[in-house]
Amino acid sequence: MKKQAFNPYLPGYEYIPDGEPHVFDGRVYVYGSHDRFQAGMFCLNDYVCWSAPVDDLGNWRYEGVIYHKNQDPKNKLGLHILFAPDVARGADGRYYLYYAFDFMGVMGVAVCDTPAGEYRFLGHVKYRDGVIWGRKSGDSFPFDPGVLVDDDGRVYLYSGFYKPVPGIVTGGKQLKFEGGYVLELESDMVTIKTPAKLLFPKKGPGAFPGHEFFEASSIRKYEGKYYFVYSSKCNHELCYAVSDRPDGGFTYGGVLVSNCDVGVNGITDESHAANYAGNNHGGMLCLNGQYYIFYHRHTCRTSYSRQTCAEPLRRNADGSFQQAEMTSCGLNGAPLRGKGRYEARIACNLWCDKGTGRYDVKHSKKRYAHHPYFTQSEKDGSTTAVQYIANMGSGAVAGFKYFAMEDVKSIHLEVKGTASGNMLAARDKEFTDILAEIPVQLLAGQRKVCSGNVRVKNGVFPLYFKYVGEGTIDFIAFTLETEENG
């Protein structure tokens, strides 16, 4: 039996945001930046890669570190951090990694003979005269690369950022921040062939009202169409635009996913959304006709410890995509089995009695001190760390979607904390259809298993858990017990 796939689909100790999925030789490779658990800034770790067989998306393999930040000669001391990358296979069969160092305004390129080997520094994207892109006043700001090697071998590089960055950071040059750009590269994958062209203006004619370009350029070509995925000025959502050509003619398609589910199930307000909002970045993947959107969620009550997730996309009759709902079973291809043990970290919904909010605000940990959050038991890099939901006070809810429930007779909770109350399990977020009431009595940080019988209801539905009582609990895992596995 294949492993089930969950969200996040990588181990709980891994913090990879900005996930760009690509298929090379029968495997899906995910390239992203690399956050650090409990960090105070984005992307502090070196690039790593994970991969999975195209027909087994619950079986991910760690490929190791593929690029160190100090390999770039402009960063020998490793003081600059590697923001979101992208990878493309060139016409020569080699693999090219594109990246930008924080807000430096320079785009680097590394190359490797295999998708997930040790990439070697190749150069910086530059003009024919040798001047590095981003070092001429009036250049567009190099940021968040998206790379496409088209069927005819032509190479397109997409980039852009919404907010102006001070010239003191970009080597004293005044760069353009008008939206999303595209430029064409020579076959050497480094030299600019045609100058940057504004494709996605952040305002004025050609902008997408309410969903204007912010950052996170990502490009794919499927079935003769070019799909450009980006993060809008709303920040928590990934949108897309589509065209018949790579360098223009894009029309707005809609929202693909929001990491707080604003836009689905009647949710319109970030402060009372289905999860905590923050920036978003990811890419589209098509496997055997099924489309997916990769994105990331936030943990630790900050924007700096993000984890990659993915959801299937539904297409309308006209070929457009519906907005995906956040789930716990994104790449699984089906609901999760309604039996066995599940870690609480796969919750796709999380809020407290006061709702949710945005993590990308000042003093977010203090602001959300009352709220539940995802954390882990050990320091960054520990492969034995256990991720869980901490700080569930009275009224806090964790939601899991979806399960194929059949003859579940009891639920066993693994919890710790200091608390006296009940955990309610329900099929709906309003808790009008309660399946179980599980007593929770914990003394002075005690860890234990608490159990309760289930009012049997079969079918495919979500599970919501709400704690009601005194104190707070840390929610580690739950087990669905049936006659078969009991």
Residues carrying an active site annotation = 18, 215
Could you tell me the CA-to-CA distances from 353 to 51, 264, 370, 470 in Å, in that order?
39, 21, 9, 13
What residue type is assigned to position 160 of the chain?
A: G
Contact residues for 260 (Cβ-Cβ < 8 A; gap 6+):
236, 267, 270, 273, 274, 275, 276, 277, 356
Tracing tokens 């739950």 back to the chain, one arrives at: 478
Burial classification of residue 148, based on how many CB atoms lie within 10 Å of its CB (0-12 exposed, 13-18 middle, 19 or more buried):
buried
Bridge-partner residues for 225, per DSSP? 222
CB-hemisphere CA count at 13 Å for 157?
36
Q: Give the H/E segment covering residue 193.
A: strand 192-201
Tokens linked to 112: 């490797």
Q: Which one-letter DSSP state was computed for residue 272?
A: G
Tokens linked to 158: 């997409």
Could you tell me the CA-to-CA distances from 25 to 19, 164, 282 in Å, in that order?
19, 40, 21
Count of CB atoms within 10 A of residue 362's CB?
Answer: 6
Burial classification of residue 411, based on how many CB atoms lie within 10 Å of its CB (0-12 exposed, 13-18 middle, 19 or more buried):
buried
Q: Which one-letter DSSP state was computed for residue 302?
A: S
> Could you give the CA distance from residue 254 to residue 37 in angstroms, rounded to a whole number?
32
